[in-house]
Amino acid sequence: MEYTVGDIVAERDVHLTRESLVRYAGASGDFNPIHYRDDVAASVGLPGVLAHGMLTMGIASSVVVAALDADARILDYGVRFTKPVVVDAENGADVRVVATVGAVDDTAARIDLKVTFGEATVLVKAQLRVAV
């Protein structure tokens, strides 16, 4: 794959439901009730049931991985969590991921991820490095 600074590598909207959260909890072992119970989320001052941070991080990277060549090697991946993704019981939540080439050198391309929920950026400094 050719990497040119500014090119969009991938973009996708991912819809999350409460069922998505329960399935992720089962796969990850993270059964913190703030991820599936409104009453618990409210009791600790949260605006509602939250998607797991690692689920959001995984969704973001999966958008890029799906667009890469099968033999691509990811060298590293990091994010900083800034805002929660609140998953409504009836309507769920839509997370938008846009992956853009931020830099290229002799060994790697840096893919910058813009990850948003509504108008809020939920991950910052979200970057993957892919071997070139």
| Furthest C-alpha separation in the chain | 52
Question: What pLDDT, on the 0 to 100 scale, is given for residue 53?
Answer: 97
Question: What pLDDT, on the 0 to 100 scale, is given for residue 17?
Answer: 98
pTM value? 0.94
Residue the block writes with tokens 């846009």: 98
What mean pLDDT value characterizes the chain?
97
- Give residue 112's pLDDT band: very low, low, confident or very high (50, 70, 90): very high
- Give residue 41's pLDDT band: very low, low, confident or very high (50, 70, 90): very high
42-69: average pLDDT? 97
CATH topology of domain 8-131: Thiol Ester Dehydrase; Chain A (3.10.129)
Which amino acid is residue 74, in one-letter code? I
Question: What pLDDT, on the 0 to 100 scale, is given for residue 86?
Answer: 98
Answer for the pair 49, 17: CB distance below 8 angstroms, yes or no.
no
Question: What pLDDT, on the 0 to 100 scale, is given for residue 27?
Answer: 97
Helix H, strand E, coil C: the string for the chain is CCCCCCCEEEEEEEEECHHHHHHHHHHHCCCCHHHCCHHHHHHCCCCCCECCHHHHHHHHHHHHHHHCCCCCCEEEEEEEECCCCECECCCEEEEEEEEEEEEECCCEEEEEEEEEECCEEEEEEEEEEEEC
